[in-house]
Structure 1
Amino acid sequence: MQVLLVNGSPHERGCTYTALSEVAATLATEKISTETFWIGNKPLAGCIACKSCTEKRKCVFDDKVNEFLSIAADYDGFIFGTPVHWAAASGAITSFLDRAFYADLCGRRKSFYLKPAAAVISARRAGTTATYDQINKYFGLLQMPIVSSQYWNMVHGAKPEEVKKDLEGLQTMRTLARNMAFFLKCKEAGLKAGVSLPMLEEPIFTNFIRD
């Protein structure tokens, strides 16, 4: 089983990376392999609602989003990490998730369907819970079970060495990893025992405006 750790920070090995590394180390003890996908620090365009992804099954902008979509189906679970910028997720990972999840949804790729996911939030001080809520909404729309921990999935510190001093935050990362491993093992055991995935209905789209 494999979990993809998505680093949404502009710093490849900063505070967010430090938190994700704690998750990765604990998953390794549970015999779960991990890879880290850094979204980079080059500009990422927001979704322009062109809906090209409905037919092409990928985003019209060929960048880190399509690179991510090309490998996403190979993973069994996902953890998305982001720093807090202005009491919200970074602009880069917001654009990244808007486009990646929309392309998957409209293109009916099903790369994320019923795969467990978690958000990891890094901040110097505040804005973590608002960001945590923001990222979790992506998982809810794509029917991804949300994995939690003993506390909200966050670490504090302005520098990686400060994050390493956040003992409760690091413990929260380890608990998150163990909970992710448990869920993955339960899902695997259920499928092997013959428990089938839920029946899928054709999506129904309605607006609030009525004739």
Structure 2
Amino acid sequence: MKVIAFNGSPHRDGNTYRLVRHALDEIGKAGIKTELVQIGGEKVHPCTACWKCMENHDLQCVQDDDMVNECIAKMAEADAIIIATPTYFAGVTPEIKAFMDRAFFVAKANGDIFRQKLGAGIAAERRSGAVCAVDTINHYFGISGMFSAGSRYWNNAKGLKPGDVETDEEGIDTMKQLGENIAWFIKKTHNK
């Protein structure tokens, strides 16, 4: 059992990272292996709509000089996928958008390999817009036949400067319950 998470913030130890860590810590307490991959601030090429993944069916994007193919392999092996982003004008970061476009296109081209996995979108926000960012992520899950994980409130928390989210008690509690819900789902679906 494994959960793979992707941090779309260019701030490696910023608010988005902290939110993901709270969720992953709860998942880890349940004995489920976790991994966090840094996407924000890394080189991630956008999809060029070349359709080679539809021709090749090799679980790869033809663009092979960035980290996306490695991430696709990790996603294919995971039971659950968390994608986290800071809120950029009520949306996701450009790296996360490019990453999702390519990863989910390759997955569809190869028999919907993410189908029936669990997905969770997380967003850090200064004031508002995070629901739109999480909704964007959830659209990728939905079109891929995945299940979306929720918590007691929207999967977001407020904070501007690095560490500010730690003062959003409701947001942190939301992340912890999200982690508990993901762990519960994985254990239930593995105990068939």
Fold match by TM threshold 0.5:
yes
> Do the aligned partners of residues 32 and 57 (structure 1) sit closer, same or farther apart at CA in structure 2, a change above 3 Å counting?
closer
Contact 1:7 / 1:37 at 8 angstroms: preserved in 2? yes
Relative contact order higher in (CA < 8 Å, ≥ 6 apart): 2
Structure 1 unaligned residues grouped into runs of 5+? 191-211
Q: Which runs of 4+ in 1 moved over 3 A?
A: none
Matched, 1:68 2:80: no
| Superposition CA RMSD, Å | 1.3
SS state at 1:105 partner? helix
Contact 1:58 / 1:107 at 8 angstroms: preserved in 2? no
- Aligned-partner Cα distance in 2 for 1:65–1:101: 11
In structure 2, the partner of 1:151 is 153
SS state at 2:87 partner? strand
Q: For each residue in 1:150-209, what CA deviation from the matched residue of structure 2 results, as whole angstroms up to 9, or x when unmatched?
A: 00000110123211111100000011011111111111112xxxxxxxxxxxxxxxxxxx
In structure 1, the partner of 2:95 is 92
TM value normalised by structure 2: 0.94
- Aligned-partner Cα distance in 2 for 1:9–1:82: 6
**Match of 2:77, as an amino acid?**
D
How many matched pairs?
Answer: 189
Structure 2 unaligned residues grouped into runs of 5+? none
Contact 2:5 / 2:20 at 8 angstroms: preserved in 1? yes
SS state at 2:34 partner? strand
Using the aligned pairs only, state the percent identity: 37
**Match of 1:16, as an amino acid?**
T
Tell me which structure has the larger Cα radius of gyration: 1
**Match of 2:189, as an amino acid?**
K
In structure 1, the partner of 2:30 is 30
- Aligned-partner Cα distance in 2 for 1:31–1:42: 30
